[in-house]
């Protein structure tokens, strides 16, 4: 996997494959994430799965850097390798410093670790175990599986670092489950557990977070609920007092991770990406899973009260995604493209698309 160049800088929507199945010594790549640092460096990261497409394969974590807004990329950097165990669910948060980034990830869905970079992701501090943070949930929920993100976390205007998490008592089944957040108010040196979101959601899990203009935090939650729509809850501080979850009629839920981001320019709308597709027979399926396809970008100008379709990025098999905005105001979306041998979980590549600013306001 050498340096790559965009296929055409003149296209409104340009694309390239950052991680390709079968290359680099890995069977497939899944679970993408992206952030842009204060100095403009774009980081893209993923799970690199050696011996299978499943969540419990031999999985490493890789990261790639771009210094030109996502047009060319450096070789992958190995972030975590736990031997034959899975390292999973890497989440990054840009730090206060221009060259600073915080990352948190899990090992075998049972332990969590924190690392920090002060040189724009060229190197990282030694891993510090923060599994004790999740022990803060134990009295309320006796978990045996923990997971961060995936995707990216957020840094609030207060400086608080915030990461959505999900927990399960079901072992490798990953269900039943609940969602919450962990947070740091001292720049990543220590982490605390938030309150578990209460409500009637069925197996909520992978969650995206955004800070609203009034300072509240909104979570957008994956679940297996009969509504087949994304669930939304808000909190004054991103930690406690979560509102009763509601289902957003405009956002379909194929039971898949989604990405949420505030566009930082112009009117600063909210942006949302997921596979905008629900099978007619989804209610009869175990887990409610629909075919993951029709990856789409939607925009909200009323803080998530309503959503408007902007762009279908991939009408075919397409799944997990994350997004960031580069210094030129372009939206970068990294997503799971295709399914080998008809398997939507066996991703062909993690594809990066670049979307012009004029589509986003």
Structure confidence by residue, pLDDT tens digits, 322-331: 999 999 999 9
How confident is the model at residue 13, as a pLDDT? 62
Per-domain residue ranges of the chain: 13-359
Residue 11 has pLDDT above 60, yes or no: no
What is the per-residue pLDDT for 206?
Answer: 98
pLDDT above 90 as % of the chain: 92
| Closest-CA residue to 349 (of 310, 314, 312) | 314
CATH domain 13-359 topology: Neuraminidase (2.120.10)
* Paired tokens of 345: 């979980």
**CA distances for 211 relative to 36, 38, 93, angstroms:** 17, 18, 13
Pair 108, 131: CB distance under 8 Å = no
Q: Judging by DSSP bridges, how do beta strands 151-152 and 87-94 pair with one another?
A: parallel
Distance CA 127, CA 133 (A): 15
Q: Tell me how far apart the terminal alpha carbons of the chain are, to the nearest angstrom.
A: 35
Among positive and negative, which fits the CA dihedral 106, 317, 330, 263?
Answer: negative
Categorize the per-residue pLDDT at 218 as very low, low, confident or very high, splitting at 50, 70 and 90.
Answer: very high
66-80 core/surface letters (b: 16 or more CB in 10 A; e: else): beebbbebeebbebb
Mean pLDDT of the chain: 94
Query: CA 187, CA 95: separation in Å to the nearest integer?
Result: 8
340, pLDDT greater than 90: no
pLDDT at 5 over 90: no
Residue 231 has pLDDT above 60, yes or no: yes
β-strands 259-262, 42-49: how paired?
unpaired
For the entire predicted model, the pTM comes to 0.96
- pLDDT at residue 6, as a whole number: 38
Strand order across the beta sheet in which 59-66 lies: 28-36, 42-49, 59-66, 77-81
Ranking 14-23, 72-81, 339-348 by mean pLDDT, the lowest is 339-348
Averaged pLDDT for residues 282-286: 94
Structure tokens at 300: 């909200």
Mean pLDDT of 305-329: 95
Question: Which residues are within 8 A (CB) of 186 and not within 5 positions of it... i.e. 6 or more apart?
Answer: none
Q: Which strand (E) or helix (H) includes residue 134?
A: helix 131-135
The answer, yes or no, to whether residue 7 has pLDDT greater than 70, is no
**Whole-number pLDDT of residue 9:** 36
Per-residue CA distances from 144 to 72, 110, 120, 131, 206 (Å): 41, 7, 34, 12, 16
Over residues 140-180, the pLDDT tens digits come to 999 999 999 999 999 999 999 999 999 999 999 999 999 99
The sign of the dihedral angle between the CA atoms of 343, 349, 350, 353 is negative
Q: Which strands form 207-211's sheet, in the order they lie side by side? A: 207-211, 217-221, 229-235, 246-252
| Model confidence at 12: pLDDT above 60 | no
Q: How confident is the model at residue 2 (pLDDT cuts 50, 70, 90)?
A: very low
The DSSP 8-state label assigned to residue 76 in this structure reads P
Q: Do 13 and 23 touch, CB atoms closer than 8 A? A: no
């Amino acid at each position: 996997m050498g340096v790559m160049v965009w296929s055409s800088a003149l296209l409104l929507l340009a694309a390239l494959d950052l991680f390709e199945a079968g290359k680099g010594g890995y069977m497939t790549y899944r679970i993408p994430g992206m952030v842009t640092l204060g100095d403009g460096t774009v980081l893209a990261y993923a799970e690199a799965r050696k011996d299978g497409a499943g969540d419990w394969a031999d999985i490493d974590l890789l990261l790639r850097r771009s210094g030109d807004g996502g047009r060319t990329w450096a070789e992958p950097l190995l972030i975590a390798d736990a031997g034959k165990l899975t390292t999973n669910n890497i989440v990054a948060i840009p730090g206060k410093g221009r060259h600073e980034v915080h990352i948190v990830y899990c090992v075998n869905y049972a332990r969590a670790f924190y690392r920090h970079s002060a040189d724009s992701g060229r190197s990282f501090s030694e891993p510090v175990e923060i599994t004790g943070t999740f022990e803060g949930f134990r009295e309320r929920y006796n978990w045996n599986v923990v997971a961060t993100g995936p995707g990216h976390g957020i840094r609030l205007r207060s400086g608080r670092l915030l990461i959505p998490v999900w927990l399960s008592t079901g072992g490798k089944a990953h269900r039943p489950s609940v969602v919450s957040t962990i947070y740091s108010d001292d720049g990543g040196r220590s982490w605390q557990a938030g309150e578990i979101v209460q409500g009637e959601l069925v197996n909520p899990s992978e969650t995206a977070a955004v800070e609203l203009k009034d300072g509240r935090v909104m979570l957008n939650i994956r679940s297996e609920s009969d509504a087949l729509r994304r669930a939304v809850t808000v909190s004054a501080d991103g930690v406690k007092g979560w509102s009763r979850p509601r289902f957003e009629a405009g956002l379909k839920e194929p039971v898949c991770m989604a990405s949420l981001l505030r566009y930082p320019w112009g009117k600063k709308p909210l942006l949302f990406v997921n596979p905008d597709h629900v099978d007619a027979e989804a209610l009869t399926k175990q887990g409610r899973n629909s075919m993951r396809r029709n990856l789409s970008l939607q925009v909200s100008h009323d803080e998530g009260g309503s959503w408007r379709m902007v762009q279908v990025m991939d009408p075919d098999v397409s799944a997990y995604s994350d997004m960031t905005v580069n210094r030129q105001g372009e939206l970068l979306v990294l997503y799971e493209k295709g399914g080998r041998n008809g398997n939507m979980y066996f991703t062909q590549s993690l594809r990066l698309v670049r979307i012009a600013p004029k589509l986003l306001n």
